[in-house]
Amino acid sequence: MQNDVLLEVNNLKKYFPIMRGLLRKKVGEIKAVDGVSFALKRGETLGLVGESGCGKTTTGRCILRQYEITDGKIVFDGEDISSYSENNLRKVRRKMSLIFQDPYSSLDPRQSAGSLVGEPLKIQRILSSQGEYNDRIEELFRMVGLDPSMTSRFPHEFSGGQRQRLGIARALACNPSLIICDEPISALDVSIQAQIINLLKELQTKIKDLSYLFIAHDLSVVKHISDRVAVMYLGHMVEITSSSDLYKNPLHPYTQALLSAVPIADPFVEEEREHIILEGEVPSPIDPPPGCPFHPRCSLAIPECREEVPELREVDTGHMVACLRV
Amino acid sequence: MKELLVVKNLKTQFKTEAGLVKAVDGVSFTLNKQEIIGLVGESGCGKSVTCLSIMKLVRPPGEVVDGEVIYQGENLLKYSAKGKEMSSIRGAEIAMIFQEPMTSLNPSLTIGQQLIETMEQHLGLNYKAACKRAADLMEMVGIPKAVERLDDYPHQFSGGMRQRVMIAMALSCNPKVLIADEPTTALDVTTQAQLLELLKDMVEKTGTSLILVTHNMGLVARYAHRVYVMYAGRVIETSTTKEIFANPLHPYTRGLLECIPRLDEEKARELVPIKGLPPNLINMPPTCAFLPRCPYRVESCYREPWAPLRSVDGKYGEHYTRCDVNTLEKVR
């Protein structure tokens, strides 16, 4: 029987060395991801939110093994890929792909739309004949709502929203089971954002067992598209819960502050809401505070919070929190 | 006198090789004392150009071709952009906070030099007094170790801190009008909340008025008293914030509200995207600019010129719109 879990990340760490001086001596480390664990089921969308520098993008890149990971384990589709060689990774990467934030800079301007979408097929040597290849590209264009007659056009002839559709078609090319969406809509105008969100949701209903890891800073969008949401702060996972519970019952003080900072487009609701305003800024990941990463800004902090990093533990069915005070 | 700034029929155009771009095409609005108004719309709707026109900062090939900007009884548009009158108003009476702080701060001067310079010029303070006030301002906008940081250069600040510096600079001469053009778009939400709360406090405590330019309907709902929704260089609907959100009448305003997910919704409802793209502002047809994207359009829309703003009954205050979804639905 096939395992229900597609991706399992266990205590993932990624430290970037800081090199200085003539001899490029290592003088420190940026702890971009510092012990992150979560699991993603088949056909599920897990949202990964947090503010800039919290390590959400790095987490995505580590799963794709674009970075060598410092420590931890990544199990994808039953295989431990944490120390796979490039050769072994090629086969795995067929099953996972990435949608980038900026549809302007992530598409090669000299390649036609058709060849951009078909490139992964060629790299993975999936299809045998030219006819099959052309059919697949046509199919991919239709899937993302682009006219297949546009295959010979170049990226600059497409609007921002259409370019992001190209990016999605390219990500779908090899029939992946996991797509990592890294801020896929933040470069687009509001009216276009909805089109892309709807497209991503629609694809998931059409393609059986397609999972998304949806990385974004916009909490409303993440909550809208995800089944579960994971909140990150300074390289740590602070809370994981179902999307429906996120707004109703946030437990971690950081999640509460983050939710409260997002304005709701309804003046009547806003009038009633309590606004938690955090003090100060996110500390540097080069020299993170000891213990709980959030304690310097936390209104509930007690001396113990300074001593140990709180473990992510299940407090309710499917609701995980890393906080001593919960 | 309640009205502080009145913009009447403002028109700003850009002469480009492709043709004449009517970026702002007859915009009118009023800003009252101690009020926050929201200018909302998608990129290219003319909201930033409107602000630049008020400040007389539109550069060639752009030009303000018509309209009035009346500030305390004087029409600012009759002054020359580089003249003495404008210099004494810009920064001192009307100040602006830009979207990208890195491009609006001088990278080769320290933050202190930039702050002090403005205050020496506008407030006539001596160097020592200006230094003192600069440090106070930095502290007020939430910059730790304010006195030491005056000697730092812009690149030594993080994005959020730079935007705080911009706000400190804008507030340095106690302006009566503050124009914030997408002040927090590039920042994280918790920083956004900190900065907007600060601006709101300013309005409440010092009696400054704020024009908040944004595409974020949530920010408008949280902070603005009144809203002007812009499309293709014109105001298409305006009212109090409550009225606009409770009873949006223009198809575009409805579209803007239906295409964004809400944090507090129980179950994810399907988003309704606005079809198509914003119009090209060159050679605009005389009909409604939103017509090609409008889901409510009727046959007569293609024949009639773009309707002006007209008054409708509002439950939460005066309400003006160019179009009314309810009438269109009756015709259909």
Calculate mean pLDDT across residues B170-177: 90
Check residue A296 and give its pLDDT: 93
Mutation site for B-interface testing, chosen from A245, A258, A262, A277 by largest number of B Cβ within 10 Å? A262
Give the C-alpha distances (Å, rounded to integers) separating A215 from A101, A145, A233, B61, B264.
10, 23, 13, 41, 20
| The pLDDT of residue B186 | 74
Q: Is residue A192 domain-shared with residue A225, that is, in the same domain?
A: yes
SS3 B103: helix
A155 and A79 both lie in a single domain: no
- Asked if A59 and A225 touch (Cβ cutoff 8 Å), the reply is no
**Cα–Cα dist B284/B290, whole Å:** 11
Q: Give CA torsion, residues A191, A197, A200, A204, to 10 deg.
A: -140
- Residue A138 and residue A194 in contact, taking contact as beta carbons nearer than 8 Å: no
Is A38 part of a structural domain of the chain? yes
| Domain count within chain A | 2
The answer to whether residues A87 and A191 belong to one domain is yes
Same domain, A201 and A262: yes
Whether A190 is covered by a domain: the verdict is: yes
In a domain, A191, yes or no: yes
The answer to whether residues A213 and A159 belong to one domain is: no
Beta strands in chain B (DSSP E): 3-16, 19-32, 36-40, 62-71, 74-75, 94-97, 177-181, 209-214, 226-231, 234-240, 310-312, 319-321
Q: What is the pLDDT of residue A263?
A: 93
Chain-chain contact of A278 with B193 (C-beta, under 8 angstroms): yes
Q: Does B263 touch chain A (CB under 8 A)?
A: yes
Q: Is there a domain that residue A166 lies in?
A: yes
Q: Are residues A150 and A39 in the same domain?
A: no
* Cα dist from A312 to A257, A293, A315, B218, whole Å: 19, 13, 9, 32
**Pairwise CB contact (< 8 Å): B256 & A191:** yes
Torsion, Cα B300 B306 B308 B313, to 10 degrees, reads 40
Among B188, B218, B266, select the one facing A52 at the smallest CB separation: B188
Could you tell me if A189 and A225 lie in one domain?
yes
Lookup: tokens for A148: 């297949």
pLDDT average, residue stretch B103-112: 88
Residues B193/B216, Cβ–Cβ less than 8 Å: no
pTM of the model: 0.89
A66: its two tokens: 């674009």
Taking the mean position of all CA atoms in its chain, how far away is CA B79?
Answer: 22
- Pick from B221, B268, B274: which is nearest to A224 by CB? B268
Q: With respect to residue A299, please indicate whether it lies within any of the assigned structural domains.
A: no
Compute and round to an integer the Cα radius of gyration of chain A: 21
Asked whether residue B213 carries a pLDDT value surpassing 60, the answer given is yes
> Is A169 domain-assigned?
yes
Q: Are residues A23 and A42 in the same domain?
A: yes
- Domain assignment present for residue A313? The answer is no
Q: Do both A167 and A212 map to the same domain? A: no
What does the pLDDT look like over B221-251, one tens digit per residue?
Answer: 999 999 999 999 999 999 999 999 999 999 9
Q: N- to C-terminal Cα distance for chain A?
A: 38
Domain final residue, candidates A117, A152, A175: A175
A188 and A157, same structural domain? no
B229 to chain A, any CB pair closer than 8 A? The answer is no
CB-based burial of residue B110 (10 Å sphere; 0-12 exposed, 13-18 middle, 19+ buried)? middle
B319, B300, B297, B298: which is closest to B310 by C-alpha? B319
Provide the pLDDT confidence category of residue B124 given band limits of 50, 70 and 90: confident
Distance in Å, alpha carbon of A84 to nearest chain B alpha carbon: 35
CB contact under 8 A, A197 and B261: yes
Q: Å from B86 to nearest chain A CA?
A: 34
- Are A314 and A301 spatial neighbours (Cβ–Cβ below 8 Å)? no
| Token pair in block for residue B12 | 């700003």
For residue A123, what are the domain limits?
A: 108-175
Chain B partners within 8 Å of A102 (Cβ): none
Alpha carbons A83 and B175: distance in angstroms, whole number: 60
Among candidate residues A132, A149, A175, the one where a domain is terminated: A175
Beta-carbon count within 10 A of B313 CB: 8
User: Using the beta-carbon criterion (under 8 Å), do B272 and A194 form an inter-chain contact?
Assistant: yes
Nearest residue of A to residue B161, measured between CA atoms: A281
Helix, strand, coil shares of chain B, percent, nearest 5, are: 35, 25, 40
- Put simply, the answer to whether A278 touches B194 (Cβ < 8 Å) is yes
Q: Of the residues A156, A175, A194, which one is the last residue of a structural domain? A: A175
Answer yes or no: do A88 and A225 share one domain: yes
Question: Chain B closest CA to A195's CA: distance in Å?
Answer: 5
Q: Which of residues 141-170 of B touch A (CB under 8 A)?
A: 142, 144, 158, 160-161
- A277 in any annotated domain: no
**Inter-chain contact A190–B260, Cβ cutoff 8 Å?**
yes
Burial classification of residue A150, based on how many CB atoms lie within 10 Å of its CB (0-12 exposed, 13-18 middle, 19 or more buried): middle
* Residue-level pLDDT, tens digit, chain A, 326 residues: 456 899 999 999 999 999 888 888 888 899 999 999 999 999 999 999 998 889 999 999 999 999 999 999 999 999 999 989 988 898 888 899 999 888 888 899 999 999 999 999 988 888 778 898 999 999 999 999 999 999 999 999 998 889 999 999 999 999 999 999 999 988 888 888 899 999 999 999 999 899 999 999 889 999 999 999 999 999 999 999 999 899 999 999 999 999 999 999 999 999 999 888 888 888 888 889 999 999 999 999 999 999 989 999 999 999 999 999 88
Residue B201, chain A, CB below 8 Å: the answer is: no
The predicted-structure confidence for B269-298, as pLDDT tens digits, reads as follows: 889 988 888 888 888 889 999 999 999 999
Q: What is the mean pLDDT of residues B213-223?
A: 93
Q: What is the per-residue pLDDT across B49-74, written as a single tens digit (0 to 9) for each?
A: 999 999 999 988 999 999 999 998 89
Q: What pLDDT is stored for residue A2 in this prediction?
A: 57
| A–B CB contacts, 8 A cutoff, strictly below | 126
pLDDT in tens, B2-13: 889 999 999 999
Looking at chain B, which residue has its C-alpha nearest residue A217? Answer: B188
What is the reported pLDDT for A1?
44
Under DSSP, is residue A171 helix (H, G, I), strand (E, B) or coil?
helix
Residue B185 distance to chain A (closest CA, Å): 11
Same domain, A181 and A193: yes
